[in-house]
Amino acid sequence: MELGSYSDQSKSTFSLADEDHTIANAVRFTLNQDPRVTFCGYSIPHPSDNRVNIRVQTTGDSAREVLKDACQDLMQMCQHVRSTFDKSVNDYKMSKTVKDMDIK
Amino acid sequence: MSSDEDESMSEQEEQTKSGKEDNGSVLDYIMSLESVPSKLPPHLELLKTRVLCKIDAPQHTDTIQYSGAYAALGVDNSIRLDNFRQNFKVQVNRLTEDDIEFDMIGIDPALANAFRRILIAEVPTMAIERIYMANNTSVIQDEVLSHRLGLIPIGADPRLFEYPENAGNEKNEKNTIVFKLHVRCERQQPRITVKSNELKWLPNGSELPSEDIKPNSSSKPKTFTSFSCSQDSLPEFSGNPIAPRNLDIILAKLGPGQEIELEAHAVKGIGRTHAKWSPVATAWYRMLPEVVLLKEVEDELAEELKNKCPVGVFDIEDIGKGRKRATVARPRSCTLCRECIRGGKEWEDRVALRRVKDHFIFTVESTGALPPEVLFTEAVKILEEKCERVITELS
Amino acid sequence: MFSVGKQLPYPVVGDAGIDKQFLAAPIKSAVDKFQLLPEFLKVRGLVKQHLDSFNYFVKTEIKKIVRANDRIVASKHPNIYLRFKDVRIGEPSIMVDGSPEKITPQTCRLSDLTSLINKQGYSLDCAVKLYSVATWKYAAPILVNVEYIQGSPGQMTRVEKNDVVIGRMPIMLRSCCCVLYGKDEAELAKLGECPLDPGGYFVIKGTEKVLLIQEQLSKNRIIIDTDKKGNITASVTSSTEAIKSKTVVVMENEKIWLLLNQFPKKVPIMVVMKAMGMESDQEVVQMVGRDPRYSSLLLPSIEECAKSGVYTKEQALEYLESKVKKSMFITDSSEKEGRAYSVLRDVFLANVPVHQNNFRPKCIYVAVMMRRMMDAILNKDTMDDKDLFKTMISEAKMWIDKFLEKNNKTSRFDFSHVIPKPLLAVQWSACDNIEYISRDTITNGLERTLSSGNFDIKRFKMHRKGMTQVLTRLSFIGTMGHMTRVSPQFEKSRKVSGPRALQPSQWGMLCPCDTPEGEGCGLVKNLALMTHVTTDEEEGPLISLCYYLGVEDLELLSGEELHTPFSFLVIFNGLILGKHRRPQRFATSMRKLRRAGKIGEFVSIYVNEKQRCIYLASDGGRVCRPLVIADKGISRVKEHHMKELTDGVRTFDDFLRDGLIEYLDVNEENNALIALYEGDATAETTHIEIEPFTILGCAMGKQAMGNIAYNQLCRKDTLLYLLVYPQRPLLTTRTIELVGYDKLGAGQNATVAVMSYSGYDIEDAIVMNKSSLDRGFGRCIVMKKKAVTIQKYDNNTSDRILRPDRTADNAGHMQILDEDGLAAPGEIIRPNDIYINKQSPINTRTQIIGSAANLPDSAYRPSREKFSGPEGESCVVDRVILCSDKNNMMCINFLFRHTRRPELGDKFSSRHGQKGVCGTIVQQEDFPFSERGICPDLIMNPHGFPSRMTVGKMIELLGGKAGVSCGRFHYGSAFGERSGHADKVETISETLVKHGFSYSGKDFIYSGPLGVLY
């Protein structure tokens, strides 16, 4: 859900249902990394509401697009984390088996 | 040194030119100016990358996320995806069946924490959710026994199951695992302890009739599940039967003549709903400790420093002429007890305890449903799914 | 004022001697005397004051009462009599169909009347066996041996009969009459009893009743006080086996008056003196004391007396006769002597006996009262502080004694009232007059009194309410605390602060911490750990011992000799025995005899220099406590004694017998100098505390949830709170181990973070971790009892239980019913579910035609019982118990169980009174975590600490953390650091450091939502 104005698309609040700090804090991080963003922040209006509001203000671009890009960035980072992690785990397992073999 | 500077100068000049040609942003322009340094001054760099752990509280704990935070200094604080890809490293330190410890370098706490949170609360597992109590004459109350059963980790891969909501709450072989527990302590026998190994998997589903049995109906009595086929006929389970992950969890104690008979139905769920579905005992990280000796610590002081630390961070090396000097040998084992900086201002001036803000020593302790390394990739996947959901919601 | 002021109660070495000895003495190593505590508790127990009092009553007092009124004579035929020869209490039993059947406390607890079956899915008719008992309580028969005259007036024969039941006595659990007496743990378990249960209460009608310890002003002691108008009074509350009266001597308008209930108006004291034979004014003055100041104070009273024209004994009696209240009971004897005379003899200062019309002791007593009063007028310091504990005694079980005495008398009166009738009817020979002893008077009287708690004894003008209370069974320690509670005699509503203040003399006797908040604050007290309340002791031998030790008999002394300098009055239990010329020597020899075990260990000897009196006391109700005796500051208890104790060669009683330890009451404590620790002892020290923390009681968390007893699941409490996973505290204390709190724990150990979090923790609110709650933290079971009676009506009809109709409209609500119409144990019950399918006859008044059993269905209307409770809360039928109640009707008890997890608004507390409600419940991932991944169970706001200054809690936080990391229980006993019964904060902190924690207990933690270090 987006709460913003039609005339000025550069600032907007997005309300994500069933989400919490997990995504909001991560997205805030990627949003902050984007030079187009002048302000971003999030809040959880009430702890018994399963909802998080993300505020995005940009230098001019559409806040929605910027947020989408931020999510995209986050996703790509995750993908990279995953591949790197898998690789290291494999490396570790390989080295370990080699070590075990060495011992034997 | 001078040659380096020259090189960078020439680079900057090139950038200046290209920036002007591209009619680039103001930031790029400022960056290109000669008098503006491209790197942060060391004291700011320290505050940006390190948490300073003082005797009573840590300082500069926050990460500087905003891309334009140092714009006035001409430093771009944004991390481009490429940069991230270049800098991000994972180093596995320990991997066993139940837990993994790895270093995650070059990532913001926001992301590392997101993984931690998802591991605890959102990676699904199977756990016992419904108990059909046929008989319980033991001292332990029905609901307490049920609660204990619920907390038993089930050694079944949750990825092979569906959420019960997806099937309209119908219990079929795709969303339910059925266990049976029937223990009796015979009279004149010593007391027995019921452990989780008494839980027996029923691949064909429930055996308890859900309605009163009509004596003349020849058809199979209706039970609490509707399995279309036996679970052990499915390829995933044919080789390895499903059982509780730990077989020595005490569930109840039975005195002579007491009996427990029940059926337990496990379904898929997430830790946010109830901690029993949490796949980890706990998952956490700590930032890499950095211990720096600000002054040379020599002789008796060195000895004192070495003895002060309960975990052996410091070591002593000989610097000749019978003199000794303290060195930081094992900074990783620092537990932040701050014992080395206790004892007055002079110690605080000698030793600096710091944390590296983008280096995480991440530990995952699995409860056993999935191996810990799989849990972590699952958690990352879930974060990706979340992003995808937001993107689809926004477009 | 007095030259004897220099004398100290215990001999002291001269100044020069002290130094030399002190320097030459070897360095004392403190002996660890802790082991004496469990031994003390083994001998005396925590509720020994109750048990001792009851045992004393059952063994001694009851015999005394019966002996005092042993002969009952038919008033018209003095030859016909009945004599009680002996009395004893039998074994606890009930009468079943005329024959006694032994009972155990547990069966009494389980039944309002009779415990029958614990319905575990059986049908109703399988095991019903209804006892027909009139009352169900844990009681034993009172058996007497009697001798009486039988036969017609012409030919009378003397008959003796043994073991006649005259009534039933409720038995205090674990007393010497109880079946649990002297049983070991296994035997107790077999009887369904919890071995940790202290006993000391009664079971009446299925409920446990405690007789509260009452605090009241000492009886038979002169108490100087001011009345409402500011006049100085001297009052004595006399109490003997026969009578209880209050005598007040008051100074009003410069004259001295006597106030006594039998005289409607105040009477001049000089007239009373004259009436008692003290005709010479000079003798009175001499008795009071020759100091001219006393004489001048006495002069107006003498003048008043002369003005009224009273000079002789006869005139005085005549004068008093006109003033005395017209009594309803006019007996022959009082007619003869005159009422005033008998009042003076029997009521006025009843504690001073009059032998052969010798009023002299009474006169001296009055003189001493006046002298004390005048001292108070001349010198305000000598005023007794009524709030001072030393004038108060805790009268533990006197009440029941008095009550039984009264009942015994009424039974006698009944008896003598009954006898004449058959005599007149000339059927005397036919009937055995034993039958006329009314059994129910005593039985019902005792039962009514104990279950209602109202003590009304008309003869003594005593009306007390709330003397008994239902034993609280909310937690084990709450039960303990309830047993040691001391209730006050004042009304609680009075807004006075004086009696509420903590008195120095309460040190070691009453717990300084344990008092309720609100109206009872400071008035309701609790006994300390090692307090003992005395019972009466034989007076005769002690009195003759006093004379033997040089007390000059009162009879032989003139008024002049009474108050000679250097001689002290010897007052024994409020009775003036005489005087002694060498008081210190007398006191020392008495004490030596006590330490040698020649006289009772609870006899107190107190030398009051100011009043120039030696007070000896052997009466019951004084609180006292054991102390180690020290000679010139050197403890008598040595290392080898303690070793013998741990080896089991020596017991606590041996310590007493060998004169290593003695009991001191509040008065005698004034003569002692008690060192807190052995190391603190100086040459003047006479006693050393056994363990300093014994000055405290056991006030820990009375509302705490946990276990209440080992047999908690076999009990039938109306409301029972249990914790699913109770734990032993990581930071224990010695007291906890002594009272058995470590075996029946309450509460759980929690990982606590003291930090601000989320704003839902202001005003002491607590933030809780949802995952911890999911895993069973704070989970509790609440059991509620509902009772349904199957009523029988006058017209022979009765309620009935029906098999549920499974096809009816409300079959949905009847699902949990068995075929017998009662809810089945183990079934989940929801609001509006029916748990008993009962029907009542419509006509319950008028007689019905035909058999009551064959009433048509139409004659019944449904009276089903619906389960009421908050919507959405599902309980479980835990047990169904069938029994019969006192009217012999079937009573069905349903126990409903509800397991709850903590929710918003539930109250939690640490052991330091830092209570708070749960403000919010937060997911684990939002909770902070430490370097080692530790996540707290709950978060407390740090603002609760500075103003409360709960340093103990800070120590507990550290000690608990150290305990977890090193795997050892840590100790935090009060005052324990010095004697090694508590871990020092320094050592705890060092343990923390050794395990890589901060010295101060502070951890650096990461924010749960953001992931950065806080």
Q: How far apart are CA C170 and CA A28, in angstroms?
A: 75
Q: Of C920, C1008, C1010, which is closest to A47 when you measure between CB atoms? A: C920
Q: Are residues C598 and C569 in the same domain?
A: yes
Q: For residue B46, which phi and psi values (nearest 5 degrees)?
A: -60, -45
pLDDT mean by block of 10 residues, chain C; 1014 residues: 38 46 54 79 75 80 72 63 78 73 78 41 31 54 74 68 77 85 86 85 82 76 79 81 78 84 83 83 82 84 84 83 66 61 81 81 86 81 53 46 49 42 38 51 71 65 72 84 78 63 82 82 83 82 89 80 82 86 90 89 87 85 86 85 85 86 87 86 87 73 81 85 90 83 85 91 92 93 88 82 79 81 86 87 76 74 84 84 73 89 90 88 93 92 90 91 92 82 90 91 91 87
Tell me: pLDDT of B19 over 70. Answer: no
Task: Verify whether the Cβ–Cβ distance C1009 to A47 is below 8 Å.
Answer: no
Q: Is residue B35 part of a domain?
A: no
HEC profile of B147-207:
HHHHCCCECCCHHHCCCHHHHCCCCCCCCCEEEEEEEECCCCCCCEEEEHHHCEECCCCCC
Residues composing chain B: 395
Task: Verify whether the Cβ–Cβ distance A67 to B114 is below 8 Å.
Answer: no
Q: How far apart are CA C761 and CA C911, in angstroms?
A: 19
From B120, which residue of chain A is nearest by alpha-carbon distance? A22
- The chains found to touch C (3+ Cβ pairs under 8 angstroms) are A, B
Helix (H, G, I), strand (E, B) or coil at A98: helix
User: Which of B253, B277, B301 is the endpoint of a domain?
Assistant: B277
- Pair C100, C93: CB distance under 8 Å: yes
Mode of pairing for the β-strands spanning C752-754 and C938-940: parallel
Q: How far is A29 from chain C (nearest CA, A)?
A: 10
Q: Are residues C761 and C799 in the same domain?
A: no
Q: How far is B200 from chain C (nearest CA, A)?
A: 23
Given CB atoms, is A28 within the 8 Å cutoff of chain B?
A: yes
Q: Are residues C602 and C553 in the same domain?
A: yes
Q: How far apart are CA C990 and CA C998, in angstroms?
A: 9
Q: How far apart are CA B43 and CA B58, in angstroms?
A: 16
DSSP string, C429-457: TTS-GGGGS-HHHHHHHHHHHHHH--EEE
Q: How far is A47 from chain B (nearest CA, A)?
A: 14
Q: Is residue C956 part of a domain?
A: yes
Give the single-character DSSP code of C295.
H
Q: How far is C781 from chain B (nearest CA, A)?
A: 9
Task: Verify whether the Cβ–Cβ distance B114 to A93 is below 8 Å.
Answer: no
Torsion of CA C176, C180, C181, C186, to 10 degrees: 180
Q: Is residue B12 part of a domain?
A: no
Which residue in C542, C540, C514, C543 sits closest to C527, CA to CA?
Answer: C514
Interface mutation vs chain C, best among A18, A19, A23, A25, most C CBs within 10 Å: A25
Q: Residue A2 is which amino acid?
A: E
Q: Of A35, A85, A92, which is closest to B68 when you measure between CB atoms? A: A35
Q: Is the pTM of this model over 0.90?
A: no
Q: Is residue A103 part of a domain?
A: no
Given CB atoms, is B387 within the 8 Å cutoff of chain A?
A: yes
Which helix (H) or strand (E) is C169 found in, with range?
strand C157-170
- Pair B34, B320: CB distance under 8 Å: no
Interface mutation vs chain C, best among B138, B261, B336, B383, most C CBs within 10 Å: B336
Task: Verify whether the Cβ–Cβ distance C779 to B147 is below 8 Å.
Answer: yes
Q: In chain A, what residues touch C767 (CB-CB under 8 Å)?
A: none
Q: Are residues C630 and C756 in the same domain?
A: no
Question: Which parts of C276-359 fold into alpha helices (H)?
Answer: 281-288, 292-307, 313-323, 332-337, 339-346
Task: Verify whether the Cβ–Cβ distance B336 to C1010 is below 8 Å.
Answer: no
User: Which of B231, B254, B277 is the endpoint of a domain?
Assistant: B277
CB < 8 Å from A in window 101-120 of B: 102, 104, 107-108, 110-111, 113-115, 117-118
Task: Verify whether the Cβ–Cβ distance A47 to C922 is below 8 Å.
Answer: yes
Q: Are residues C678 and C738 in the same domain?
A: no
Give the single-character DSSP code of C212.
P
Which residue in B221, B258, B264, B254 sits closest to B133, CA to CA?
Answer: B264
Q: Are residues C613 and C736 in the same domain?
A: no
B316: which strand partners?
Answer: B326
Q: Are residues C950 and C814 in the same domain?
A: no
Q: Are residues B314 and B270 in the same domain?
A: no
Q: What is the pLDDT of residue C853?
A: 67
Task: Verify whether the Cβ–Cβ distance B92 to A80 is below 8 Å.
Answer: no
What domain count does chain C have?
4
Q: What is the pLDDT of residue C946?
A: 92
Q: In chain A, what residues touch C925 (CB-CB under 8 Å)?
A: 22
Taking only the tens place, the pLDDT of each residue in B185-232 is 998 889 999 999 999 998 888 888 876 555 555 566 677 877 878 887
Q: What is the pLDDT of residue C389?
A: 43
Q: Which domain range does residue A69 map to?
A: 2-96
Q: Is residue B346 part of a domain?
A: yes
User: Which of B277, B304, B335 is the endpoint of a domain?
Assistant: B277
Q: In chain A, what residues touch B83 (CB-CB under 8 Å)?
A: none
Q: In chain A, what residues touch C1008 (CB-CB under 8 Å)?
A: 21
What domain count does chain A have?
1
Tally the C-alpha atoms within 13 A of residue C369's C-alpha that lie toward its C-beta: 31
Helix (H, G, I), strand (E, B) or coil at C117: strand
The residue among B377 and C619 whose pLDDT is bigger is: B377
Start-to-end C-alpha separation, chain A: 61
From B109, which residue of chain C is nearest by alpha-carbon distance? C1011
Task: Verify whether the Cβ–Cβ distance A23 to B387 is below 8 Å.
Answer: yes
Q: Are residues C594 and C731 in the same domain?
A: no
User: Which of C644, C673, C695 is the endpoint of a domain?
Assistant: C695
- The chains found to touch A (3+ Cβ pairs under 8 angstroms) are B, C
Q: Is residue A25 part of a domain?
A: yes
Q: How far is C991 from chain A (nearest CA, A)?
A: 37
Task: Verify whether the Cβ–Cβ distance B102 to A33 is below 8 Å.
Answer: no
Q: Are residues B210 and B336 in the same domain?
A: no
Given CB atoms, is A50 within the 8 Å cutoff of chain B?
A: no
Q: How far apart are CA C553 and CA C546, in angstroms?
A: 10
Which helix (H) or strand (E) is A33 found in, with range?
helix A21-33
Q: Of C770, C781, C929, which is closest to B141 when you measure between CB atoms? A: C781
Task: Verify whether the Cβ–Cβ distance A85 to B391 is below 8 Å.
Answer: no
Which residue in C383, C379, C366 sits closest to C293, CA to CA?
Answer: C379
What domain count does chain B have?
2
Q: Of C120, C781, C931, which is closest to B286 when you measure between CB atoms? A: C931
Q: Of C713, C771, C1012, which is closest to B61 when you measure between CB atoms? A: C1012
Q: Are residues B60 and B181 in the same domain?
A: no
Task: Verify whether the Cβ–Cβ distance A78 to B387 is below 8 Å.
Answer: yes
Taking only the tens place, the pLDDT of each residue in A2-37 is 676 777 888 899 999 889 999 999 999 999 888 888
Q: Which domain range does residue B97 map to?
A: 40-71+78-123+279-395
Given CB atoms, is A21 within the 8 Å cutoff of chain C?
A: yes
**Furthest-apart CA atoms within chain A: distance in Å:** 73
C176: which strand partners?
Answer: none
Taking only the tens place, the pLDDT of each residue in A36-91 is 889 999 999 988 888 999 999 998 888 989 999 999 999 999 999 999 999 999 99
Q: Are residues C945 and C998 in the same domain?
A: yes
Q: Are residues B138 and B219 in the same domain?
A: yes
Q: What is the pLDDT of residue C817?
A: 85
User: Which of C867, C900, C933 is the endpoint of a domain?
Assistant: C900
Q: ipTM of the predicted structure?
A: 0.92
Q: Quick one: how far is CA C443 from the chain centroid? A: 22
Q: Of C779, C993, C1003, which is closest to B310 when you measure between CB atoms? A: C993
Q: In chain C, what residues touch A21 (CB-CB under 8 Å)?
A: 926, 1008-1010
Task: Verify whether the Cβ–Cβ distance A23 to B393 is below 8 Å.
Answer: no
Task: Verify whether the Cβ–Cβ distance C760 to A47 is below 8 Å.
Answer: yes
Residue B336 belongs to domain with CATH number: 3.30.1360.10
Q: Of C758, C920, C1009, which is closest to A21 when you measure between CB atoms? A: C1009
Q: Is residue C98 part of a domain?
A: no
Task: Verify whether the Cβ–Cβ distance B311 to C996 is below 8 Å.
Answer: yes
Q: How far is B309 from chain C (nearest CA, A)?
A: 8
Q: What is the pLDDT of residue C47?
A: 78
Task: Verify whether the Cβ–Cβ distance B275 to C924 is below 8 Å.
Answer: yes
Q: In chain A, what residues touch B380 (CB-CB under 8 Å)?
A: 78, 81-82, 85
Is the dihedral angle over the CA atoms C754, C758, C763, C766 positive or is it negative? negative
CB < 8 Å from B in window 909-968 of C: 923-925, 929, 931-933, 935
Q: How far apart are CA C914 and CA C916, in angstroms?
A: 7
Q: Is residue C799 part of a domain?
A: yes
Q: Of A68, A78, A89, which is closest to B373 when you measure between CB atoms? A: A89
Given CB atoms, is A29 within the 8 Å cutoff of chain B?
A: yes
Interface mutation vs chain A, best among C921, C926, C929, C1006, most A CBs within 10 Å: C926
Q: How far apart are CA A3 and CA A40, in angstroms?
A: 14
Residue C621 belongs to domain with CATH number: 3.90.1070.20
Phi-psi region at C1011: left, alpha or beta (left = phi > 0; alpha = psi -120 to 50): left
User: Which of C848, C871, C900 is the endpoint of a domain?
Assistant: C900
Q: Are residues B115 and B135 in the same domain?
A: no
Q: Which domain range does residue C550 map to?
A: 3-41+534-695
Within 10 Å of residue B72's Cβ, how many Cβ atoms? 9
Residue A77 belongs to domain with CATH number: 3.30.1360.10
Q: Are residues C763 and C910 in the same domain?
A: yes
Q: Of C760, C922, C1009, which is closest to A25 when you measure between CB atoms? A: C1009
Segment among B72-81, B116-125, C31-40, C849-858 with least mean pLDDT = C849-858
Q: Are residues B59 and B196 in the same domain?
A: no
Q: Are residues B101 and B203 in the same domain?
A: no
Read off the pLDDT of each residue in B294-302 and give the average, rounded to a whole number: 88
Q: How far apart are CA C495 and CA C92, in angstroms?
A: 45
Say how many CB pairs under 8 Å bridge B and C.
Answer: 113
Q: Are residues B192 and B317 in the same domain?
A: no
Helix axes B372-394, B109-121, angle to 10 degrees: 110
Tell me: pLDDT of B83 over 60. Answer: yes
Segment among B180-189, B338-347, C348-357 with least mean pLDDT = C348-357
Mode of pairing for the β-strands spanning C468-470 and C207-211: antiparallel
